Structure 1
Amino acid sequence: MKTLTLKSFTVLATLVIALAGTCAHAAGFQHGFAADPGGKPLEIGIWYPSQATAQPVAMGPTTMSVAVNGPVQGKALPLIVMSHGTGGSFLGHFDTAIALADAGFVVAAVTHTGDNHADRSRSVDIMDRPRQISRVIDHMLSTWDGYAAINPARIGMFGFSAGGFTTLASIGGVPDFSRIGPMCRQYPDDFACQLVAKSGGSAAVPATSATADVADPRIKAAVVAAPALGFTFAPDGLKDVKVPVQLWRAENDVLVPHPRYAEAVRLALPEAPDYHVVPNAGHFDFLVPCSSALATMVPVICTSAPGFDRAAFHASFDAAVVGFFSKTLKAH
């Protein structure tokens, strides 16, 4: 287990510079859609290395510095797909996406159909999320106009909260949803239990049989932060996971409390993950640091504990994510 300190910020940043070598890039950006035969087109944000000049771009209350539609720079680039938490969007981790693009990765983040900031009608249909991720990978490898620059043997996945669950299912995890009822009777205040209750109870949760064949063998490494429903993978639901995993937990996470979520995942993984516990952090501190406009609109996801510097944490978090994928998705 690792905790992050101010001293580690410099160490990690140095590591990323060393790994990236002379291949530092600006981040190009495109906003588009991936076809989904099983539903509506999937909204995606794509970040990638580019030598074009980055400019501030506003998207609602969010502003990021990117080169919109800049040409892709590089060949045989690794691809990272991103899955957000319940009620989120493709923009939830854009700083991490930019850090990856700056280091030579292509990143495709999806806005999950039926479980996003504008539409939460299918938030409990969590087993449809891995299928959507596979459709995004299909799009990036065959339809995206920069697909020829991607090495299909170098694909990783990043997921937060419900996206962390999505990631675990996508790399071979098999959840046991029969564990939700007993867990929620014991801990009804857990976020997942409240979500199930609002949707009509445990009958709304998919049957275990619905978990078959959602894993995508193209994914070769995974970063999982504050995974939702982590307890559904215990004790042996992750036995078939064969890829390296970096696992994150916020010390003061009240939405997915210790030890039922990330810790359950850590214990169930057949190989010990690269495990990090973030002192004094809350669940939403894994989201990109908020603009003042977003903080006014949605203060609950933007408010950190006294003394916790989300921007400083993200400098270390992004560097650690880049370092992990740089190590595990080496060029063949």
Structure 2
Amino acid sequence: MKTLNTKRFSVALTLALIGACAHAAGFQHGFAADPDGKPLEIGIWYPSSAAVLPVAMGPTTMSVAVKGPVQGQALPLVLISHGTGGSFLGHFDTAMALADAGFVVAAVTHTGDNYADQSRAVDIMDRPRQISRVIDHMLASWAGRAAIDPARVGMFGFSAGGFTTLASIGGVPDFSKIEPVCRQYPVDFACQLLAKNGGSNVTPPAASTIANAADPRIKAAVVAAPALGFSFAPDGLKNVKVPVQLWRAEDDAILPHPRYAEAVRLALPQAPEYHLVPKAGHFDFLAPCSSALALIAPPICTSASGFDRVEFHARFNAAVVGFFSKTLRAH
């Protein structure tokens, strides 16, 4: 989850790609049908042998082969779920690293919880359903679908997207835990968000919505700084059977230790591949900022003294690629 207001984060997203990117990939921007809502905006990165060119997206630029042909067969697919107030561009560097390594990546802009519209930011259990609709689209409707191996699907999620990922792989959150936690820790971002939307005693999702959130097509997951991690403790993750790579920022002031990532680590039935990032803050999991972005949106760009986000992301992306390469092996 993020603490940025809509206007600030909108600017941040449009500028996030200004810096030169080390990876080349095919790229498509499109929409996935959602029978229960608005079409879902998606960005798709994938391996392509086509020549890349600098492409402007508003005031942003990235070097990609727009609509270039997909290269490869039986490619694994990775879904990306952003945090509160984000968009499909929030983890573009990770998406491009995966595409460069032979993955198809589909990142969604969540309806009702994005930089332009946060009218449904507290309806967090609708996010897993949206992810499933994107998987449907990629496997059944996307023009390059023949290149995807439907048995090799993974998911990456940050913050609210981390919660989304956990719910999508079988996690069952207990929303009754939110009110007492928020009473004790009212400054937590989730509690502030709820307070703006009617308080921490908002009506919880229907039991059927929670029970049907899991998508068995997802075979591996990367979870970074998961929101509402405490809602899965102690046994809400007992049904998770897929391998998980879990990341925690040591100095995360948005989702403070030990209520979030640590609660998830302890609740997972099988120990995750766990990474604690020294000196990192919550927003250090977002793509490194350009100088222009740093001037406009310092809250998501300012790292602790001595912390190098660019260097960290080189290691972070390599670890994410390595994890999915290992866990989504071809059969």
Q: With the length of structure 2 as denominator, give the TM-score of the two structures.
A: 0.91
Aligned twin of 1:264 = 263
Aligned twin of 2:304 = 305
In the aligned structure 1, how far is the partner of 2:275 from the partner of 2:206?
A: 30
Aligned twin of 2:190 = 192
Aligned twin of 2:138 = 140
Asked whether the equivalents of residues 24 and 63 of structure 2 are also in contact (C-alpha less than 8 Å), the reply is no
SS of 1:277's partner is: strand
Which amino acid in the other structure matches residue 54 of structure 2?
P
Asked whether the equivalents of residues 44 and 110 of structure 1 are also in contact (C-alpha less than 8 Å), the reply is yes
User: Alpha-carbon deviation of 1:61?
Assistant: 4.5
User: Alpha-carbon deviation of 1:244?
Assistant: 0.1
Which ranges in structure 1 are unaligned for 5 or more consecutive residues? 1-24
In the aligned structure 1, how far is the partner of 2:149 from the partner of 2:294?
A: 38
Q: For structure 1, which segment, 150-159 or 49-58, has the greater mean C-alpha deviation from structure 2 after superposition?
A: 49-58
Aligned twin of 1:225 = 224
Aligned twin of 1:247 = 246
Aligned twin of 1:155 = 153
Aligned twin of 1:114 = 112
SS of 1:264's partner is: helix
Aligned twin of 2:86 = 88
1:254-286 deviation digits (Å, cap 9, x = unpaired): 010111000000000000000000010000000
Which amino acid in the other structure matches residue 106 of structure 1?
V
In the aligned structure 2, how far is the partner of 1:203 from the partner of 1:36?
A: 29
Aligned twin of 1:181 = 179
1:58-115 deviation digits (Å, cap 9, x = unpaired): 3245432211111000000000000000000000000000000000000000000000
In the aligned structure 2, how far is the partner of 1:205 from the partner of 1:277?
A: 34
Aligned twin of 1:292 = 291
User: Alpha-carbon deviation of 1:208?
Assistant: 5.9
Aligned twin of 1:71 = 69
Asked whether the equivalents of residues 179 and 201 of structure 2 are also in contact (C-alpha less than 8 Å), the reply is no
Q: 1:256 to 1:61 in 2, by over 3 A?
A: farther
In the aligned structure 1, how far is the partner of 2:134 from the partner of 2:293?
A: 27
Asked whether the equivalents of residues 61 and 293 of structure 1 are also in contact (C-alpha less than 8 Å), the reply is no
Asked whether the equivalents of residues 44 and 106 of structure 2 are also in contact (C-alpha less than 8 Å), the reply is yes
2:163 is the alignment partner of 1:165: yes
In the aligned structure 2, how far is the partner of 1:208 from the partner of 1:137?
A: 23
| Counterpart mapping for 1:270-289 below 5 A | 270-289=269-288
User: Alpha-carbon deviation of 1:303?
Assistant: 1.2
Which ranges in structure 2 are unaligned for 5 or more consecutive residues? 1-22
Asked whether the equivalents of residues 254 and 282 of structure 2 are also in contact (C-alpha less than 8 Å), the reply is yes
Asked whether the equivalents of residues 75 and 149 of structure 2 are also in contact (C-alpha less than 8 Å), the reply is yes
User: Alpha-carbon deviation of 1:57?
Assistant: 2.1
Following TM superposition, the consecutive aligned residue runs of length 4 or more in structure 1 with deviations greater than 6 angstroms are none
Which amino acid in the other structure matches residue 139 of structure 1?
H
In the aligned structure 2, how far is the partner of 1:197 from the partner of 1:284?
A: 22
User: Alpha-carbon deviation of 1:205?
Assistant: 4.8
SS of 1:231's partner is: helix
Asked whether the equivalents of residues 62 and 294 of structure 1 are also in contact (C-alpha less than 8 Å), the reply is no
Aligned twin of 1:22 = none
Q: Give the counterpart of 1:41 among 18, 35, 39.
A: 39
Aligned twin of 1:28 = 26
Which amino acid in the other structure matches residue 218 of structure 1?
R
Calculate percent identity across the aligned residue pairs: 81
In the aligned structure 2, how far is the partner of 1:159 from the partner of 1:269?
A: 16
1:174-216 deviation digits (Å, cap 9, x = unpaired): 0000000000000000000000001111243524613121100
RMSD of aligned Cα (Å): 1.1
SS of 2:112's partner is: coil
Q: For structure 1, which segment, 132-141 or 198-207, has the greater mean C-alpha deviation from structure 2 after superposition?
A: 198-207
Q: For structure 1, which segment, 307-316 or 50-59, has the greater mean C-alpha deviation from structure 2 after superposition?
A: 50-59
2:103 is the alignment partner of 1:105: yes
Q: For structure 1, which segment, 183-192 or 48-57, has the greater mean C-alpha deviation from structure 2 after superposition?
A: 48-57
In the aligned structure 1, how far is the partner of 2:311 from the partner of 2:34?
A: 38
In the aligned structure 2, how far is the partner of 1:228 from the partner of 1:301?
A: 17
1:278-300 deviation digits (Å, cap 9, x = unpaired): 01000000000112232233221
User: Alpha-carbon deviation of 1:302?
Assistant: 1.3
Aligned twin of 2:127 = 129
Q: 1:59 to 1:198 in 2, by over 3 A?
A: same
Q: 1:275 to 1:36 in 2, by over 3 A?
A: same
Q: Provide the aligned length of Structure 1 versus Structure 2.
A: 308
Asked whether the equivalents of residues 61 and 294 of structure 1 are also in contact (C-alpha less than 8 Å), the reply is no
Which amino acid in the other structure matches residue 319 of structure 2?
A
SS of 2:25's partner is: strand
